[in-house]
Structures are given as C-alpha cells and as structure tokens.
C-alpha cells in the first residue's frame, strides 16, 4: 500500500514546476556565496572551508529550509483543492501510508537537491581557482543536512496538512529559521529542527562534531521525525476532514 502511495505522489510531481524550484534555489545560494568568496579571498583564506562558510550560510540557513517548506506545501496542494480530502480519506489506504509516502518522496527530493548543491559547490570552487582537496567533513555535512531536512520535512508536512493556505506554512517555516538561528547562538542547536540543520551542515562553524554530538544529533532527529509523524497521522485519523 505504501509503495502505491509513493507512486501516486511521483505521478503528481512528474509534470509540475517543483523541479524548477529544486534547481533554482541551490543555484542562487551558490552564486551568491561564491561571489562573496571570490571578492573576499584576501580574508577568506581557507579555500574549500571558506567557500563552504559562504555558500553554506545562504543555502543551509535560508534557501534549503524554505525549499523544504515549499516542497511540503506542494505535496498537500492537490488534497486541499476540489474536496479531494473527502476522496482520499474514503480511499482504501491507511493514513500512515498517506503521510509517510509524502515524507519519503520529500526525502528523495532532498537527496536530489543535496547532490545538485554539492556539484554546484565543487564547480564554484574550481571556477574560483581553488586547487586543494575537498574537505574531509564534506560527506558528513551533506548527510547530516539531509537527515535534518527529513526532520524539517516532517514538521512542514504536518503544518501543510492542517493549513489550507499554500503560503502560510512556508511563512511559518521562514520564521522557524530565525528561531533556529537563535537556538544555535545560545548553544542549543541540537534541540530544534532548523538549528539541527545549521549544526549538522556546519553552516556557521566548520568544526567537526564529536562522537557524542553526532549521536545526540541522530537521536534528536529521529525523535522529532517519529513524534511529529505520529502526531500528524493520529490527527489525520481522528479529526474531521475540512474539505
């Protein structure tokens, strides 16, 4: 049943414009970050690490969370139109499959986005004249960024499921970005979804996480994903549909 729901979600996305957004936002963030790096190479002297600090700031702190929110809002867009909620809730599929299929598809889309971002980061560095090897932490930044993206995705899916407006959940997600930044500044970055992304991707600090911090990072993300998904599924199952 879950497999069929995932196939249905892919069919809805096949001819949509979401793919353009998935490409454009990483391009914009890398262009801005690379330009800033190129113009300040006298100060930013750590090559790949300095470039990451610039492109990662725009991408991981702003564009990526907003991109996740847009994708999640789009995943519920069809359900909120033409009384489709009535049809979905009377279909022979479980609420678990409906929500989890959307989360899985969002996760796959975010893998695609992370790969695109890595390619753009690499090309930006080469065009800027960086000749050294890539950071050893790069794979960890990208992987932890994807894990945190799943957490934010679960949260944004839960919001977009309950809020019919397309823009409102995205606005809430943007506000959460600044809350996450504040949590990071007061050294509580491992306890809020958006600050988990900041911490995991090394957006503001390229210092490697310790083994204990990595474990806590994984635990907090799993906890958020399970709690939010369980709550959203329960709410879907018990609440009356507002079509």
> pLDDT tens, 198-237?
999 998 887 888 899 999 999 999 999 999 999 999 988 8
| Per-residue confidence (pLDDT) for residue 240, from 0 to 100 | 56
> CA 158, CA 48: separation in Å to the nearest integer?
37
| Per-residue confidence (pLDDT) for residue 208, from 0 to 100 | 81
Residue 159 tokens, joined: 């919001």
Look over the chain and give the mean of its residue pLDDT values, rounded to a whole number. Answer: 90
When comparing pLDDT for 240 and 159, which is higher? Answer: 159
pLDDT > 60? residue 242: no
Residue 238 pLDDT class (50, 70, 90 cuts): confident
Mean pLDDT of 138-150: 96
Q: Which of 91-95, 175-179, 197-201 has the lowest mean pLDDT?
A: 91-95
Residue 53 tokens, joined: 């600090």
* Residue 152 and residue 61 in contact, taking contact as beta carbons nearer than 8 Å: no
Distances in Å between the alpha carbon of 159 and those of 66, 166, 216, 218?
14, 10, 25, 23
| Per-residue confidence (pLDDT) for residue 93, from 0 to 100 | 80
Q: What is the pLDDT of residues 24-75, one digit of tens each?
A: 999 999 999 999 988 888 788 889 999 999 999 999 999 999 999 999 999 9
Residue 109 pLDDT class (50, 70, 90 cuts): very high
Cα 19–Cα 147–Cα 210 angle in degrees, nearest 5: 140
pLDDT cut 70: percent of the chain above it: 96
The pTM of the full predicted model, rounded to 2 decimals, is: 0.94
> CA 84, CA 60: separation in Å to the nearest integer?
34
Mean pLDDT of 169-190: 94
Cα 23–Cα 62–Cα 217 angle in degrees, nearest 5: 105
Q: What is the pLDDT of residues 131-142, one digit of tens each?
A: 889 999 999 999
| Per-residue confidence (pLDDT) for residue 32, from 0 to 100 | 94
| Per-residue confidence (pLDDT) for residue 243, from 0 to 100 | 47
User: Tokens 């914009």, residue?
Assistant: 28
| Per-residue confidence (pLDDT) for residue 241, from 0 to 100 | 52
Distances in Å between the alpha carbon of 124 and those of 28, 93, 175, 201, 202?
12, 45, 29, 18, 18
> CA 99, CA 161: separation in Å to the nearest integer?
9
> CA 51, CA 67: separation in Å to the nearest integer?
21
* Residue 195 and residue 183 in contact, taking contact as beta carbons nearer than 8 Å: yes
Mean pLDDT of 139-150: 96
Mean pLDDT of 13-23: 87
Residue 194 pLDDT class (50, 70, 90 cuts): very high
């Amino acid at each position: 049943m879950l497999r069929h729901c995932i196939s249905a979600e892919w069919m809805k996305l096949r001819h949509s414009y979401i793919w353009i957004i998935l490409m454009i936002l990483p391009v914009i963030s890398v262009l801005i970050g690379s330009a800033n790096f190129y113009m300040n190479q006298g100060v930013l002297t750590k090559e790949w690490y300095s470039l990451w600090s610039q492109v990662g700031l725009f991408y991981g702190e702003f564009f990526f969370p907003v991109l996740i929110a847009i994708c999640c809002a789009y995943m519920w867009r069809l359900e909120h139109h033409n009384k489709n909620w009535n049809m979905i809730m009377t279909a022979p599929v479980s609420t678990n499959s409906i929500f989890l299929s959307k989360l899985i598809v969002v996760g796959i889309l975010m893998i695609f986005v992370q790969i695109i971002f890595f390619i753009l980061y690499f090309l930006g560095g080469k065009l800027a004249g960086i000749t050294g090897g890539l950071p050893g932490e790069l794979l960890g930044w990208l992987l932890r960024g994807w894990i945190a993206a799943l957490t934010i995705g679960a949260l944004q899916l839960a919001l977009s499921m309950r809020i019919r407006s397309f823009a409102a959940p995205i606005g809430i997600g943007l506000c959460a970005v600044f809350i996450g930044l504040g949590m990071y500044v007061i050294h509580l970055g491992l306890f809020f979804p958006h600050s988990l992304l900041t911490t995991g991707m090394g957006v503001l600090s390229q210092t490697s996480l310790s083994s204990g911090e990595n474990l806590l990072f994984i635990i907090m993300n799993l906890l958020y994903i399970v709690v939010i998904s369980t709550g959203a599924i329960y709410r879907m199952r018990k609440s009356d549909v507002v079509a």
